[in-house]
Amino acid sequence: MTETWVKVLKKNLILTQLATDKNDQEKVLVSFTTITDLEGIPNSGWGLSIYRPTAQAFAPLNQLRQIFLIGICSAGLLVGAIAAILATRATRPLLAATHVYVIKPESLIRFLKRLDSRS
């Protein structure tokens, strides 16, 4: 970890890591960078560190993820409902044309006897 901080100090990078606050054992997001030369101000060798609890830092991301999940589920339900309606409408004439009638055995026997008597 110390080597990483030394690299940040030498190269003027920004380092961001997850850490645990030692006071209340809360997970925090910590960022550190050096303050580089500004106009008219020589290099002071100072750095800047910012920390924020992870629940607070990632709250907008979690909210966006929840909104996308609700939107995708709603769109899926809507598409499924439309597909079910269209499938019912498309197959309605086919189902009407292929309606099966139940024939009683006695009626079938009479029908077959009539056919035999004609031939």
Neighbour count for residue 27 (Cβ, 10 Å): 13
Closest by CA to 6, choosing from 37, 34, 35, is 34
Mean pLDDT confidence for 22-28: 89
Give the whole-number percent of the chain exceeding pLDDT 90.
Answer: 34
Q: For residue 119, what pLDDT band results from cuts at 50, 70 and 90?
A: low
**Domain locations in the chain?**
2-57, 59-98
Burial of residue 54, with CB atoms counted within 10 A of its CB: 0-12 exposed, 13-18 middle, 19 or more buried:
middle
Partners of 20 in beta bridges: 27
Which contiguous run of DSSP H or E holds residue 82?
Answer: helix 59-97
pLDDT at 76: 98
Closest by CA to 54, choosing from 29, 24, 20, is 29
pLDDT digits (tens, 9 = 90+) for 81-113: 999 999 999 998 887 777 666 667 787 788 888
CA-CA distance, 54 to 57, in Å (whole number)?
Answer: 5
Which strands, in side-by-side order, build the sheet including 14-20?
14-20, 27-34, 47-53
